[in-house]
Amino acid sequence: MINKVDNNVYEVPIGYRPGMRVPGRIFVSEELLKMVEPGTIDQVANVATLPGIVKYSMALPDAHLGYGFPIGGVAAFHENGGIISPGGVGFDINCGVRLLYSNLEARSVQPLISTLIDDLFQAVPSGVGATSRLHVSDHELTETFIHGAKWAVEQGYGVEADIEHCEENGSMAGADPAQVSIKARKRGRPQLGTLGSGNHFLEIQKVEEIFDQTIAKRFGLFKGQITVMIHCGSRGAGHQICTDHLEVISRAVHKYKIDIPDKQLSCAPIGSPEAKNYFGAMVCAANYAWSNRHIIAHWTREVFEKYFNYAKLDLLYDVAHNVAKIEEHKLNDKLERLYVHRKGATRAFGPGRIEVPAAYRDLGQPVLIPGSMGTPSYVLCGSDKALELTFGSACHGAGRIMSRTRAKKTYTGQDVKAALSGKGIKVKATHPAMLAEEAPQVYKPSDKVVEVVHNLGIATKVAKLVPLGVSKG
Amino acid sequence: MKPFDYLEHTADIKFRAYGENVAEMLNNAALALFNAMIDTSTVQIIDTWKVNLSATELEQLAYNWLSELVFLFETEFAIFSKFNIKIEQNKEWKLEAQIGGEKIDIKRHTFDNEVKAITLHEFIIKKNDFWCIQVVLDV
């Protein structure tokens, strides 16, 4: 039913399911295609039925079964006639990744890995029921919603230079705190400055391999260097914002006579009050997430400075992988404003785009692709090809292949911890069961996923980072 | 009739909960929600909470009920294992529930997962010989 149109490009034709307005495109190798569940292809086809969708409903090489939209999905909608869908962003709004590069070499840090991970585990609260060391007031929460990482810097977390190295400068425009419910505030307030649980992590890594010396140097990376990766999002604030607006929008579909194949694809026309309200609230959650990662990065720096007084951890980049953005893209040689939904997908803009930080603008945007606990993470560089093929998007991780239930039946937390320890990786988590469900084997091999992105030319490989220590919720 | 069962899903948790009537189905859905996070037999009934909800559609009521439980879990730092639900259907659906549970004690309570939210993906309520609700949880 699906057709190969090129190397690493497969098409889900119109007619795969009724109501498709555009075809689906799955960017995946033949080998990885075997790991894509039929349900994921159905989800790509379902998204293709939404009003105003442009070009293709897309899925990247890490694509797997999600709820509503597939994970690893990208869909863009015309400003006129298109829609916004909370399900196209997900509950963890602006779940994302930030990478800090240090002036430290692995050989001097490695003997202290256990101590550092224990300290980071204490410094950055994680897991179920964790509350932050911060006690923000309701007013400060509003400031976070509006100003994101900029607010955090004003409060003394991080430095001004960090801001330039965040997508949207860590502060997306269009926040409307009036659209954030009291419930979302109540969930968000005690959690600003917490990592969360599940697949979220804080990882100390070593640069193991450099693929592009010139770009690596410009990104501040060198072989044997220590980096720190932070993966988390907007916590309960984002989850509740999506829950609240999904409920409203799921009722609005009748009003706007939009026919959807799955209620999680509920959407409202761009320009409608429901869509505007959701977007204003979504931006609040996105800004909260940038502020959250900023605060966590600050505490991470404090831990390193305790043991290495000369330590410097600079921000390479911070990317969102669950978000909807208004972006200009070329369609039939004309620039058009589109609402691009990325659900488990990273922006990967090429050189010249104004959205790319000035320091990297001649190269392209840094693209951060985390591995799982035991597998490597990658730094890539966005390209023009991404703008041509995927609305400037790349994959966001390795992608799950095994359910959490099956993972727990197959592995125990202790086994996973022992296996990682055997590889020299120190892991600390609130509970071993959390490790079983995140065992490296439950994900696709990250190197194979990255290879597809590189071979397609969406983003090119710059450096490979391997984990030395991981702190998990 | 078993109260609920879990179905295979790659990234998230999918369950079906059953009941002779709507109240029993929503009671079992709540149990399935919390059993996805923790073995609820380890939860003692020390405190009680109250929930009152209304909605025009049953599906909306069910979605709001489960979402309310996630909200209470996170903001009350509490875990629940007993649900006494009363359902009324006139012009709209009404739910009145008394919930039993206790504050989270990380030393005693072992969490397998943390549910972030209730999704509407494949969210279905059906009535044949008995009531059945299908839910996918975002974890």
Model confidence pLDDT, tens digit, residues A295-313: 999 999 999 999 999 999 9
- Please name the amino acid found at residue A318: D
- Provide DSSP, A12-31: E-TTSSTT-SS-EEEE--HH
pLDDT, tens digit (0-9, with 9 covering 90-100), for A323-358:
999 999 999 899 999 999 999 999 999 999 999 999
Which chain A residues touch B71 with a CB distance below 8 Å?
A: 183, 186-187, 240
Question: So what's the pLDDT on residue A239?
Answer: 98
Q: Does any CB of chain B come closer than 8 Å to the CB of residue A250?
A: yes
| A369 within a domain of the structure (yes/no) | yes
Q: Does any CB of chain B come closer than 8 Å to the CB of residue A67?
A: yes
- Counting residues of chain A whose pLDDT is more than 70, the rounded percentage is 100
Alpha-carbon distance of A370 to A380, in angstroms, equals 11
Chain A, nearest residue to B79 by Cα: A129
Which residues sit opposite B77 in a β-bridge?
none
Q: What share of chain B is helix, strand, coil (3-state, %, to 5)?
A: 25, 40, 35
- Report the candidate in A54, A85, A59, A43 with the shortest Cα–Cα distance to residue A396: A59
- Report the candidate in A371, A370, A367 with the shortest Cα–Cα distance to residue A393: A367
Residue B106 and residue A266: Cβ atoms within 8 Å? no
Q: Which of A451-455, B99-103, B104-108 has the lowest mean pLDDT?
A: B104-108
Q: What is the CATH number of the domain that holds A231?
A: 3.90.1860.10
Among A68, A240, A406, the residue with its CB nearest the CB of B71 is A240
- Please name the amino acid found at residue B108: R
- Report the candidate in B109, B100, B107, B32 with the shortest Cα–Cα distance to residue B72: B100
User: What is the nearest CA distance from B79 to chain A, expressed in angstroms?
Assistant: 10
Residue B10 and residue A91: Cβ atoms within 8 Å? no
Among B10, B116, B120, the residue with its CB nearest the CB of A401 is B10
| Mean pLDDT in residue range A280-284 | 98
Q: Does any CB of chain B come closer than 8 Å to the CB of residue A255?
A: no
Alpha-carbon distance of A287 to A300, in angstroms, equals 20
Range of the domain at A248: 3-401+443-472
| A69 within a domain of the structure (yes/no) | yes
User: What is the nearest CA distance from B75 to chain A, expressed in angstroms?
Assistant: 6
Confidence band of A372 (pLDDT split at 50, 70, 90): confident
| A423 within a domain of the structure (yes/no) | no
Question: So what's the pLDDT on residue B8?
Answer: 84
In the DSSP assignment, the letter for residue A432 is H
Confidence band of A402 (pLDDT split at 50, 70, 90): confident
Q: Which of A148-162, A218-232, A398-412, B118-132 has the lowest mean pLDDT?
A: A398-412
Question: So what's the pLDDT on residue A45?
Answer: 98
Question: So what's the pLDDT on residue A401?
Answer: 86
Total domains in the fold of chain A: 1
pLDDT, tens digit (0-9, with 9 covering 90-100), for A433-444:
778 888 888 888
Alpha-carbon distance of A213 to A223, in angstroms, equals 10
| Mean pLDDT in residue range A145-172 | 96
Radius of gyration in angstroms for the set of CA atoms belonging to chain B, rounded to a whole number: 14
Among B6, B10, B111, the residue with its CB nearest the CB of A65 is B10
State the burial class of residue A222 (Cβ atoms within 10 Å of its Cβ: 0-12, 13-18, 19+).
middle
Residue A350 DSSP SS3: coil
Which chain A residues touch B104 with a CB distance below 8 Å?
A: 128-129
Residue B10 and residue A243: Cβ atoms within 8 Å? no
Total domains in the fold of chain B: 1
Alpha-carbon distance of A142 to A284, in angstroms, equals 8
Q: Does any CB of chain B come closer than 8 Å to the CB of residue A433?
A: yes
Question: So what's the pLDDT on residue B110?
Answer: 87
Half-sphere exposure of A436 (CA within 13 A, CB side): 19
How many of the other CB atoms lie within 10 Å of CB of A53?
A: 22
Chain B, nearest residue to A233 by Cα: B116
| A413 within a domain of the structure (yes/no) | no
- Counting residues of chain A whose pLDDT is more than 90, the rounded percentage is 86
Interface predicted TM-score of the whole assembly (ipTM), two decimals: 0.96
CA distances from A372 to A62, A101, A261, A369, A397 (A): 12, 19, 32, 10, 8
Residue A403 and residue B116: Cβ atoms within 8 Å? no
Confidence band of B100 (pLDDT split at 50, 70, 90): very high
- Cα angle A223-A359-A104, degrees, rounded to a multiple of 5: 30
| Mean pLDDT in residue range A83-89 | 97
Confidence band of A214 (pLDDT split at 50, 70, 90): very high
Q: What is the CATH number of the domain that holds B93?
A: 3.55.10.10
- Phi, psi (degrees; rounded to nearest 5) at B130: -145, 170
Q: How many residues does chain A have?
A: 473
Among A236, A247, A400, the residue with its CB nearest the CB of B64 is A247
Range of the domain at B130: 4-138
How many of the other CB atoms lie within 10 Å of CB of A276?
A: 16
Residue A431 and residue B116: Cβ atoms within 8 Å? no
Residue A434 and residue B111: Cβ atoms within 8 Å? yes
Q: How many residues does chain B have?
A: 139
Question: So what's the pLDDT on residue A313?
Answer: 98
Residue A264 and residue B119: Cβ atoms within 8 Å? yes
Structure tokens at A238: 């984002």
Among B60, B77, B117, the residue with its CB nearest the CB of A91 is B117
pLDDT for A432 beyond 80: no
| Cβ proximity of A85 and A272 under 8 Å | no
| Mean pLDDT in residue range A46-57 | 98
Residue B74 DSSP SS3: helix
- Phi, psi (degrees; rounded to nearest 5) at B67: -65, -35
Which chain B residues touch A405 with a CB distance below 8 Å?
A: 6, 8, 13
Does residue A396 carry a catalytic annotation?
yes
In the DSSP assignment, the letter for residue A119 is H
Residue A65 and residue B37: Cβ atoms within 8 Å? no
Angle at which helices A138-147 and A273-307 cross, to 10°: 100
> How many interface pairs between A and B have CB atoms less than 8 angstroms apart?
122
User: What is the nearest CA distance from A123 to chain B, expressed in angstroms?
Assistant: 18
Question: So what's the pLDDT on residue B113?
Answer: 86
Residue B120 and residue A406: Cβ atoms within 8 Å? no
Residue A360 backbone zone (phi > 0: left; psi -120 to 50: alpha; other: beta): alpha
User: What is the nearest CA distance from B102 to chain A, expressed in angstroms?
Assistant: 13
| A231 within a domain of the structure (yes/no) | yes
| Mean pLDDT in residue range B95-123 | 94
> What is the average pLDDT score of chain A?
95
In the DSSP assignment, the letter for residue B43 is -
Mutation pick from A200, A243, A253, A372 vs chain B, by most beta carbons of B within 10 Å, is A243
pLDDT for B133 beyond 90: yes
Pairing relation of β-strands A201-210 and A57-64?
Answer: unpaired
Alpha-carbon distance of B103 to B84, in angstroms, equals 19
Among B11, B113, B116, the residue with its CB nearest the CB of A71 is B11
| A412 within a domain of the structure (yes/no) | no
| A167-206 residues touching B, CB cutoff 8 A | 183, 186-187, 196-198
Alpha-carbon distance of A345 to B10, in angstroms, equals 17
| Catalytic residue (one of A200, A245, A341, A396) | A396
